[in-house]
């Protein structure tokens, strides 16, 4: 079986209406993404824990809509253009899509990742390369963190080299739970994972179970939990680790500082080289902060609580 993919370029103003209308007129699916995806102009989007960021979509987007091969796609696009009152037919192209074994194709893109001599990230469909090592079983999913990104590897290596055992750790922006689960496997006492996205929290819990983590030691919640817990987690953590993006890290500085014990440390990544000074400035009030490592243009900052 095969399909026709329609790739349309439009602006943020019309993205949702165009996507919905394509579905209404016969598209099997429609995906909205950054038109600059895969280029140096690609723009990451994020929102903080109280949803205060106004930007929700890229200024220029591409919509990829999938149609049955027999459908006259250009005619449908003309109909949709009139239905949502666009002034002219948007720029588009068509692509033939053959049926694939998508599961197998996806799996071939993810091999075990060797983090250090004793730590591997292993997809569930692979054999453990070293049964004597610490093997984190982790599949790609809805939440960020498969072990392949440089920022995740920077954090994992730091945990591997610096955990001494028994530490209380907060993983803020836990995603798939990879950092918290790795910390437990490396000897941490307990981990509290926090994420804005309920799906990420669910993913973290599932991955913790898959890796046989003690549920009393590995707990994952949405950001509302920290707000509702009041003073309970003030100065609770020996280590607060946050692998997100520079702007939310800057906004979160008082919250992460408040959660860190005296002489505890904060581990920050998701920071590009050109963003170092801004992040350092935001944390300098509470931490003695320094650059620990760099990888592929990304930086790991470490701060010790004053």
Most confident of 5-14, 104-113, 119-128: 5-14
pLDDT at 68: 93
Average pLDDT over residues 258-276: 96
Residue 252 has pLDDT above 90, yes or no: yes
Secondary structure of residue 188 in the 3-state scheme: coil
Q: How far apart are CA 88 and CA 81, in angstroms?
A: 7
pLDDT at 148: 86
- Mean pLDDT, the chain, rounded, equals 90
Strand segments, DSSP code E, in 82-118 are 92-98, 113-116
Residue 241 has pLDDT above 50, yes or no: yes
Average pLDDT over residues 154-159: 96
pLDDT at 305: 97
Neighbours of 128 (CB within 10 A): 12
Residue 74 has pLDDT above 80, yes or no: yes
What pLDDT, in 10s, does the model give residues 4-32?
999 999 999 999 999 999 999 999 999 99
Average pLDDT over residues 250-276: 96
**Which tokens hold the place of 135?**
């093997």
Q: How far apart are CA 256 and CA 235, in angstroms?
A: 9
Start-end of H helices in 130-216: 150-162, 178-185, 198-210
Query: Which domains does the chain carry?
Result: 2-99 (3.30.70.120), 144-305 (3.40.50.150)
Quick one: what percent of the chain has pLDDT higher than 70? 91
Neighbours of 73 (CB within 10 A): 19
pLDDT at 232: 85
Average pLDDT over residues 160-177: 96
Structural element, H or E, at residue 65: strand 60-68
pLDDT at 99: 72
pLDDT at 293: 95
pLDDT at 202: 95
More confident residue, 57 or 13: 13
What pLDDT, in 10s, does the model give residues 183-217?
999 999 999 999 999 999 999 999 999 999 999 99
More confident residue, 27 or 124: 27
Model confidence, pTM: 0.68
Query: What are the two backbone dihedrals, phi and then psi, of residue 91, each rounded to the nearest 5 degrees?
Result: -65, 135
Q: How far apart are CA 140 and CA 200, in angstroms?
A: 12
Query: What single-letter DSSP state applies at residue 90?
Result: P
Q: How far apart are CA 258 and CA 280, in angstroms?
A: 16
pLDDT at 41: 76
> Which of 80-89, 123-132, 272-281 is predicted with the least confidence, judged by mean pLDDT?
123-132
């Amino acid at each position: 079986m095969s399909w026709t993919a329609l790739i349309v370029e439009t602006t943020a103003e019309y993205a949702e209406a165009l996507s919905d209308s394509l579905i209404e007129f016969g598209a099997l699916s429609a995906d909205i993404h950054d038109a600059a995806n895969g280029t140096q102009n690609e723009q990451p989007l994020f929102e903080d824990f109280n949803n205060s960021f106004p930007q929700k979509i890229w200024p220029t987007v591409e919509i990829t809509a999938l149609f049955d091969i027999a459908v006259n796609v250009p005619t449908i696009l003309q109909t949709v253009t009139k239905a949502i009152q666009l002034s002219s037919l948007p720029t588009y192209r068509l692509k033939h899509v053959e049926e694939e074994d998508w599961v197998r194709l996806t799996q071939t893109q993810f091999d075990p990742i060797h983090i250090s001599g004793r730590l591997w990230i292993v997809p569930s469909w692979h054999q453990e390369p070293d049964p004597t090592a610490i093997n984190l079983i982790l599949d790609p999913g809805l939440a960020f963190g498969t072990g392949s990104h440089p920022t995740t590897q920077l954090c994992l290596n730091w945990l591997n080299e610096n955990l001494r055992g028994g530490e209380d750790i907060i993983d803020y922006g836990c995603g798939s739970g990879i950092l918290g689960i790795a910390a437990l496997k490396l000897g941490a006492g307990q981990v509290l994972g926090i994420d804005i996205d309920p799906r990420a929290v669910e993913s973290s819990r599932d991955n913790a179970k898959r890796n046989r983590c003690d549920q009393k030691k590995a707990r994952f919640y949405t950001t509302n939990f920290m707000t509702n817990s009041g003073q309970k987690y003030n100065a609770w953590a020996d280590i607060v680790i946050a692998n997100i993006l520079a702007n939310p890290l800057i906004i979160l500085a008082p919250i992460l500082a408040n959660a860190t014990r005296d002489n505890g440390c904060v581990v920050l990544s998701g920071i590009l080289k050109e963003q170092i000074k801004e992040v350092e400035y935001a944390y300098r009030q509470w931490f003695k902060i320094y650059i620990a490592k760099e990888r592929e243009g990304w930086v790991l900052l470490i701060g010790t609580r004053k």
